[in-house]
Amino acid sequence: MKFLCIIITIFFGQCAHADTVLRKLMTVGQSAAWSGIGRLNVSGGDLDRLCSGVLISDSHVLTAAHCVVNRSTGKVYTPNMIQFLAGWGNEGASALGQAHHIFVHKSYEYSHTVSDELVSTDIALIELLTPMNANGIRPFLLSRSPAIGQKISLISYVEKKLEAPLIEEKCNILSVKNQIIVSNCVVDFGASGAPIFTEINGELMITSIVSAKGKVNGRNVSLGVSLEEPLSELLGQLRKVSSIAQMEKLNFFTGN
């Protein structure tokens, strides 16, 4: 039986008394500190999609693969269709980045059905045409997969509240298996590709990105992809076509 089926039928019966998740709208001042997180806009023709993304270097945006893949054809969108709005808030974006190259995990294949294979490879990197290294924008470091029960935070953009990112604190990791991280964070449409943070030595680091949402036994849950093996494989794809200088800009894993 697949891991996600096991979670649905067995695991969540143990989580009925999880802490209430705090969700609040960030102010413009607070958003400035998180300007490395942004809205990912996909547009062209009659297409208009919204996702979230996060900088892991001044030239690379980490997001979910399904955000940059055409659901009808299964092909990756052309770079001219994708823009990253860093630190988007009430006063606009701290910077606007145009996609230059798009890299999707080699094993990812879009499907309307959520499965182990889909979530565990739902990861993509967007290389920007121009680096984002002004206006106080800073990329985030990467952390290894969290432990069950560990506290996490999630920052995302959602379709219903486009004026600023939402921060969700005090979520808990419910399970980590098969490169899939399950938490009781509440996510909505637009949160795909949003960073999930753990705190290590007082610094927040990315430990996962959002792939899908769900509801089990009346409880909202989120599914994220581990950033260890899947991201390492994706970076291997990137090395084949990117310059050494570009690769040196990437923030590799630190912490535990």
Domain 33-139+229-254 CATH assignment equals 1.10.287.3610 = no
- The per-residue pLDDT for 160 is 66
**In CATH terms, are 15-29+140-226 and 33-139+229-254 the same topology?**
yes
Q: Which helix (H) or strand (E) element contains residue 247?
A: helix 244-248
DSSP helix/strand/coil, 1: coil
pLDDT, tens digit, 9 for 90 and up, residues 173-189: 998 888 899 999 888 88
Low-confidence ranges of the chain (pLDDT < 70): 1-32, 45-47, 160-163, 216, 242-256
Domain 15-29+140-226 CATH assignment equals 3.30.450.40 = no
Q: Which two tokens stand for residue 135?
A: 């206006």
Instruction: Provide the residue ranges of all domains of the chain, joining segments of one domain with +.
Output: 15-29+140-226, 33-139+229-254
Three-class HEC string of 52-83: EEEEEECCEEEECHHHCECCCCCCECCHHHEE
Provide the CA 28 distance to its chain's centre, in angstroms.
21
Contact between residue 210 and residue 222 where contact means Cβ atoms under 8 Å apart: yes
Exposure of 193 by Cβ count < 10 A (0-12 exposed, 13-18 middle, 19+ buried)? buried
pLDDT, tens digit, 9 for 90 and up, residues 42-83: 987 556 788 999 999 999 999 999 999 998 888 999 999 999
The whole-model pTM stands at 0.85
